[in-house]
């Protein structure tokens, strides 16, 4: 039986303030409706994060796994790719490091990498126009 996740109650304005403090390069939105992608409103009308906050404390791996995905297995899978591959990386990403990019290039020399200046890990949220242009340019070469 699956253990119940802890309940975390949040308010849309305070959540927007917290996100703005964490991501200072992105302006705080005046329209908070976009936060509904990360929050869920339950029958009691309170808002809750839609993901398990234990993930942030290292209590569990990605998508509820009990540990992190095996790194060597990931690199082996990447090395086997035969399709055109694009990595769009935020230039100020706190998730995808220069070392990670170097390692990806070693495993998959054909990968194309686009660094988007002034974008963090959520490139499409920070610089949607530049993200879209990079993806459209890449895909258009293969269609």
pLDDT one-digit tens code per residue, 116-130: 999 988 899 889 999
pTM (two decimals)? 0.63
Hey, what are 13's tokens? 């304005």
Residue 66 has pLDDT above 70, yes or no: no
Look up the CATH number of domain 70-143: 3.40.50.1820
> For residue 100, which phi and psi values (nearest 5 degrees)?
-65, -40
Taking residue 93's Cβ as centre, other Cβ atoms within 10 Å add up to 19
Whether the per-residue pLDDT at 57 is higher than 90: the answer is no
> Residue ranges per domain, the chain?
1-62, 70-143
Q: How far is it, in rounded angstroms, from Cα 113 to Cα 94? A: 17
């Amino acid at each position: 039986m699956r253990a119940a996740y802890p309940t975390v109650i949040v308010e849309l304005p305070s959540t927007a303030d917290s996100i703005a403090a964490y991501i200072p390069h992105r302006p705080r939105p005046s329209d908070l409706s976009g936060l509904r992608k990360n929050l869920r409103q339950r029958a009691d009308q309170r808002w809750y994060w839609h993901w398990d906050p234990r993930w942030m404390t290292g209590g569990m791996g990605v998508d509820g796994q009990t540990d992190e995905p095996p790194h060597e297995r990931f690199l082996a899978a990447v090395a086997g790719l035969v399709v055109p591959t694009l990595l769009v990386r935020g230039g100020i990403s706190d998730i995808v490091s220069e070392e990670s990019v170097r390692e990806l290039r070693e495993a998959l020399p054909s990968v194309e990498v686009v660094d988007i200046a002034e974008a963090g890990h959520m490139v499409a949220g920070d610089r949607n126009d530049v993200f879209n242009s990079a993806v459209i340019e890449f895909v258009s070469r293969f269609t």
